[in-house]
Amino acid sequence: MTSAERTSATGLQAHIRGERLAASDDVCAKDVLVQIFTRERIEESVIVPAVAEPLIVWVLSGDATIEERAAGEDWLASEVSPGDFFLTTSAVPYEMRWRVTSPEPFVVMHIYLGLQLLERAIEEVHGGATDSIRLREISGGRDEVLSVLLEQLRVELTSRPETSALLVQGIAQCIAVHLARSYLDADAENIAKRNALPAFKLKRVVQTMEDSLGEAFRLADLAHEAGMSEYHFSRLFKRATGHSPSQYFIKLRMTKAKQQLIETDRSIIDIALEVGYSSASHFSQVFKRQVGVPPSHYRK
């Protein structure tokens, strides 16, 4: 049986027989695609192309024996029932077959999470950027926390007159953080940590940034504080934080500004000057770009 080597998240449905019952295609939610399918009761062989986005398959109905194998390897079988899930991150095609062993229809839900969303979750959970998404492969697993989140997606997709893009996006963010906490491949975590700026140097540099929010950003001074060249410091700083030094400095400025806007009655121009902006208009532009709303709106 021949099949494409790779396909998109939306294109995978063309490679596996079954009826699509619901999908989030028309929902303007970033970083997530949800689809529900009824599958054939017996599938003798299907080649599943690789998909860039990690895929969660959650069993909604039916008991089944599912077997998987890579090219030239032996079959690995999993006995699954509603609530079990598969987590697939394969970069190469693999073969599947299954047989439903209960009278109920075999219904599954596919959830694809965007790579950028997973990268952000991994950076937040593990404290550094990663060069690649590396999650553990799971076949026929069970995870009560994940089931609660996936059930909310199912209800939103199938039981509401209109699906909320904001809610779907929020649940996707929760799933991404849970995967980063529980299913990150150990080797990937080591990659993320390897060659990052040491914690004691990072703490010292961040303190220097916080003490100079009202001054111009000076990469050379920060690199000197860390005892490195500017290039080497910038690369290791981003590995440790997920942000370039200048981006991180702006985030610290905005954090300080938000605190001042909420906790004091100081004028916007005074707050702008304190965090290093000589004009209220420039400050407002940067604040809106980083926070999403103007300073005056944020204060209200």
Are 148 and 254 found together in one domain? no
Q: For residue 290, is it within any domain?
A: yes
Residue 139 lies in a domain: yes
pLDDT exceeds cutoff 80 at 23: yes
Q: What share of the chain is helix, strand, coil (3-state, %, to 5)?
A: 45, 25, 30
Among 192, 222, 244, residue at a domain's last position: 192
| CA 32/CA 53 separation, integer angstroms | 9
Which has more pLDDT, 24 or 147? 147
Note whether 264 and 231 are same-domain residues: yes
Is residue 43, in this structure, part of any structural domain at all?
yes
State whether residue 261 is helix, strand or coil: helix
If pLDDT is split at 50, 70 and 90, which confidence band does 242 have?
Answer: confident
Q: Verify that 96 and 130 share a domain, yes or no.
A: yes
DSSP string, 9-70: TTTGGGGS-EEEEEE-TTS--TTEEEEEEEEPSEEEEEEE-EESS-EEEEEEE--EEEEEE-
Residues 98 and 224 in one domain: no
Domain boundary among 192, 218, 252: 192
61 and 144 co-located in one domain = yes
Q: For 55-102, what is each residue's pLDDT tens digit?
A: 999 999 999 999 998 777 778 888 999 999 999 887 778 899 999 999
Q: Are 154 and 60 in contact (CB under 8 A)?
A: yes
Kindly state whether residues 65 and 98 are assigned to the same domain.
yes
List, for residues 194-210, the tens digit of each pLDDT value. Answer: 556 777 788 889 999 99
Instruction: Give helix then strand counts, H and E, for the chain.
Output: 11, 12
Same domain assignment for residues 118 and 240? no
The pLDDT value given to residue 54: 86
Position 201: which residue type?
K
Domain limits for position 276 = 199-299
**265 in the same domain as 169:** no
> Are residue 213 and residue 176 in the same domain, yes or no?
no
Contact between 86 and 56 (Cβ < 8 Å): yes
CA nearest neighbour of 15 among 63, 45, 47:
47
pTM above 0.85, yes or no: no
Can you give the CATH number for the domain in which 95 is found?
Answer: 2.60.120.810
What is the average per-residue pLDDT within 2-7? 65
Beta-bridge partner residues of 51? 7
DSSP letter at 112? Answer: E
Contacts of 80 (CB under 8 A, 6+ apart): 59, 63, 64, 65, 66, 140
> Range with the lowest mean pLDDT among 68-72, 188-192, 231-235?
188-192
- The confidence score (pLDDT) of residue 104 equals 97
For residues 42 and 54, is the Cβ–Cβ distance under 8 A?
no
* CATH code, domain carrying 255: 1.10.10.60
Strands 32-39 vs 18-23: parallel, antiparallel or unpaired: antiparallel
Number of domains in the chain: 2
Q: What is the pLDDT, as a whole number, of residue 2?
A: 44
Average of per-residue pLDDT across 171-183? 93
Residue 1: inside a domain: no
